[in-house]
Amino acid sequence: MAARQPRFNQALLFDTTPLPSSIPPVEEIGASSAPLLSASYFIGARCRPYNDDYMKCKDLAHGRGEFECMREGRKVTRCAASVLEDINKNCLEEFRRHWNCLENNNQQLWQCRRHEWKLNGCVFDKLGLEKKIPDAPTNETPVHLRKRQIYSQNDPGVIT
């Protein structure tokens, strides 16, 4: 048993220092992890140039780019918000079914492939965005397109 008594700090700390005027304001996305995971590949497809700019800025700042890269970070946030807004306008039912499935299945993508296929089709048809897994082997069927999900409890066997 420890000789020292535990101390808990329950105080909330708020930084009220305003951001510099050179940093453009942006609204936060305000989504939980399930909708962000559901839309993540589409966000990556549309926002890749902004993400690359942000990561390059962070790399050039040698890990010290909190303020230096805030402008690029805000562009990433705006782009992600626009993708979520477009998905909500055009594919709301499919999007809700998929992220609710993720929410109820511990964020395990393979448990929700049926809903994912419908969402992917809707987003491709209406927004022209396609889910692509980075650095996936080109000689294999991508995991999200396989008809048989061997670990899934919701999609047993071969799905037609």
pLDDT tens per residue, range 32-52: 899 999 999 999 999 999 999
Considering the entire predicted model, what is its pTM?
Answer: 0.73
Q: Output the pLDDT for position 137.
A: 75
Neighbours of 54 (CB within 10 A): 21
Q: Output the pLDDT for position 20.
A: 76
Decide if pLDDT at 68 tops 90. Answer: no
- Residue tagged 């303020």 (tokens): 67
Length of the chain, in residues: 160
The CA distance from 95 to 103, in Å, is: 12
Phi and psi of 148, rounded to 5°? -110, 120
**DSSP state, residue 152:** -
Decide if pLDDT at 150 tops 70. Answer: no
Across 63-72, 118-127, 133-142, least confident range: 133-142
Q: Output the pLDDT for position 9.
A: 66
pLDDT tens per residue, range 80-114: 999 999 999 999 999 999 999 999 999 988 888 88
Decide if pLDDT at 5 tops 60. Answer: yes
Decide if pLDDT at 143 tops 80. Answer: no
The CA distance from 105 to 102, in Å, is: 5
* Helix then strand then coil, % of the chain, to nearest 5: 50, 0, 45
